[in-house]
A and B are shown apart, each in its own frame.
Chain A
Amino acid sequence: KAGVTQTPRYLIKTRGQQVTLSCSPISGHRSVSWYQQTPGQGLQFLFEYFSETQRNKGNFPGRFSGRQFSNSRSEMNVSTLELGDSALYLCASSSPDSGGYNEQFFGPGTRLTVL
């Protein structure tokens, strides 16, 4: 079974630009969550999508948005990039059979650098 895939793996942008990251979950997984990881703040939850609906949201500004498609693939968008948005963005998927306890499987991440 293929794991969670994320594209692109690396990205360099400048301040003010916008970026779209993509995540394909494990086949059969319908929940996709996004996280931001930085050395200072650690792993922080961005949002979770389930069956194309945002089910939960973390404490990030509205510049961070996402969506999920009918095939469970998800995209995350960050508009008006700031230097502080430089981070590793991780996507994780979980199975409906996990009982809602979020046993999640992570993708390799997208390393975003904002110059």
Chain B
Amino acid sequence: EDKVVQSPLSLVVHEGDTVTLNCSYEVTNFRSLLWYKQEKKAPTFLFMLTSSGIEKKSGRLSSILDKKELFSILNITATQTGDSAVYLCAVVNYGGSQGNLIFGKGTKLSVKP
């Protein structure tokens, strides 16, 4: 069965810390991997990764994909309280029984002042 597994499920850090969120996957026909941030509303898009080893960066956030080992990481440096959210990883998988976008359960990040 196609699946996307995120770890840890929750994380509590202090402002200024650096965090690494993990996403591993097993899917039938991998096309790309997406990261989203979800606060008390709908998910907002962060990154789309399709090629191994190419880091994507946006401010303090960065992400990289390893298609050989089937995982991705999302790094957040110098965390701020505004980074508190659930971070979702999703894999685009055409032809799988679960449809074209499979989500992990998310990592709940809490950043304390």
Contact = CB atoms under 8 A, between A and B. Distances in A.
Interface in A70-115: 90, 100-109
Interface stretch (A14-22, A51-59, A61-69): A51-59
Interface in A4-22: 4
Contact of A104 (B45, B98, B104, B106): B45
Contacts of A42: 103-106
B88 to A, nearest CB: 7
Given A106-B43, A108-B41, A57 B99 contact: yes
B101 A33 contact: yes
Contact of A43 (B32, B41, B92, B103): B103
B45 to A, nearest CB: 6
A46 B100 CA distance: 10
Contact of B42 (A55, A56, A107): A107
Given A33-B101, A101-B32, A109 B92 contact: no
B35 to A, nearest CB: 11
Contacts, number: 64
Interface residues of B, number: 24
Interface string B42-58: 11110010100000000
A45 B41 CA distance: 17
Contacts of A100: 31
Contacts of B42: 4, 90, 106-109
Interface of B: 31-32, 34, 36, 41-45, 48, 50, 88, 90, 92, 97-106
